[in-house]
A and B are shown apart, each in its own frame.
Chain A
Amino acid sequence: MTTAEYPALPRDARAAAEPVIDIRDVRKVYSTGAIEVEALRGVSLRVEAGEYVAIMGPSGSGKSTLMHILGCLDTLTTGSYLLAGEDVGHLSEVDLAVIRNRRIGFVFQQFNLLPALTAWRNVELPLSYAGVRRAERKARAIELLNRVGLGERIEHRPNELSGGQQSRVALARALVNRPSMVLADEPTGALDSTATADVLSVFEELNDDGHTIVLITHEEDVAAHAQRVVRLRDGLVESDTGAAR
Chain B
Amino acid sequence: MSWLETLRTSLEAIRSHRLRSALTMLGILIGIGAVILTVGLGEGAQAQVASAINSLGTNLLVVSPGSTTNSTGVRGGAGSATTLTVRDANALATPGVAPDIAAVAPTTTRSTALSAGATTWTTSVVGTTPAWEPVRARSVAEGRFLTDADITSEAANVVLGPATAEELFGSTNAVGRTVTIGGLPFTVVGVLNSAGTSSTAQNQDDQAIVPISTAADRLIGGGNRTSVQAIYLQASTSDGLSAAYQEANQELLALHHITDSANADFTIASQESLLDTASSVTQTLTVLLGGVAAISLLVGGIGVMNIMLVSVTERIREIGLRKAVGASPVVIRRQFMVEASVLGLSGGLLGVLLGIAGALILPHLVGIQISVSPSATAIAILTAIAIGLIFGVYPASRAARLAPIDALRSE
Contacts and interface: CB of A to CB of B under 8 A. Distances in A.
Contact of B405 (A74, A116, A126, A131): A74
A75 B403 CA distance: 8
A128 B318 CA distance: 15
Interface size class of B (residues with CB under 8 A): 20 to 34
Nearest to B8: A134
Interface string A190-230: 00000000000000000000000000000000000000000
Contact of A102 (B1, B5, B326, B331): B326
A122 to B, nearest CB: 9
Contacts of A117: 12
A71 B324 contact: yes
Interface string B319-338: 01111111111110000000
Interface stretch (A6-14, A44-52, A81-89, A92-100): A92-100
Interface in A112-156: 112, 114, 116-117, 125-126, 128-131, 134
A108 B408 contact: yes
B326 A177 contact: yes
Residue among B12, B317, B322, B328 with most chain A CB within 10 A: B328
Contact of B2 (A125, A126, A131): A131
Contacts of B2: 131
Contacts of B360: none
Contacts of A106: 324-325
Interface in B296-350: 317-318, 320-331
Interface string A64-81: 000010010111000000
Given A93-B329, A131-B2, A112 B403 contact: no
A68 B407 CA distance: 13
Contacts of B330: 94
A112 B331 CA distance: 19
B81 to A, nearest CB: 79
A114 B323 CA distance: 13
A128 B321 contact: no
B153 interface: no
A63 interface: no
A178 interface: no
Interface of B: 1-2, 5, 9, 12-13, 16, 317-318, 320-331, 401, 403-406, 408
15 contacts: A93-B328, A93-B401, A94-B329, A97-B323, A98-B328, A100-B326, A106-B324, A106-B325, A108-B408, A126-B326, A128-B5, A129-B1, A129-B326, A130-B326, A131-B1
Given A116-B12, A129-B322, 17 more contacts: A71-B324, A93-B328, A93-B329, A94-B328, A97-B328, A97-B331, A98-B326, A100-B326, A100-B404, A112-B324, A116-B13, A116-B16, A125-B322, A128-B1, A128-B9, A129-B328, A134-B5
